[in-house]
Amino acid sequence: MKKLRKTKIIIEYSGSRIPVERDERGLYTCPICGDYLFYSVEDLMHHVIAHARNSLKAIRPAPKRH
């Protein structure tokens, strides 16, 4: 399996600068858990904000589709 090349970018949100990685497909990786992929900065930010509001252990994996 080919490893995807990742690009480091800085996104700004509410005056905070957050370094995130974006891969070749244009998917953003969560900078905190490094585990989730997002198609848009907006979706990523919702996730990062959830990290900030809750303790990490309160974060649950994304719900599975039935």
User: Closest separation between CB of residue 30 and Zn ion, Å?
Assistant: 3
Task: Give whichever of 10 and 56 is closer to Zn ion, judged by the CB atom.
Answer: 56
* Closest CB to Zn ion among residues 20, 30: 30
Q: For residue 10, is it left (φ>0), alpha (ψ between -120 and 50) or beta?
A: beta
In angstroms, give the least distance from the CB of 26 to Zn ion.
18
As a whole number of angstroms, the distance between CA 21 and CA 19 comes to 7
Residues forming contacts to Zn ion in the complex (CB under 5 A) are: 30, 32-33
- Cα 62 to Cα 13, 19, 50, distances in angstroms: 23, 22, 12
CB closer to Zn ion, 2 vs 33: 33
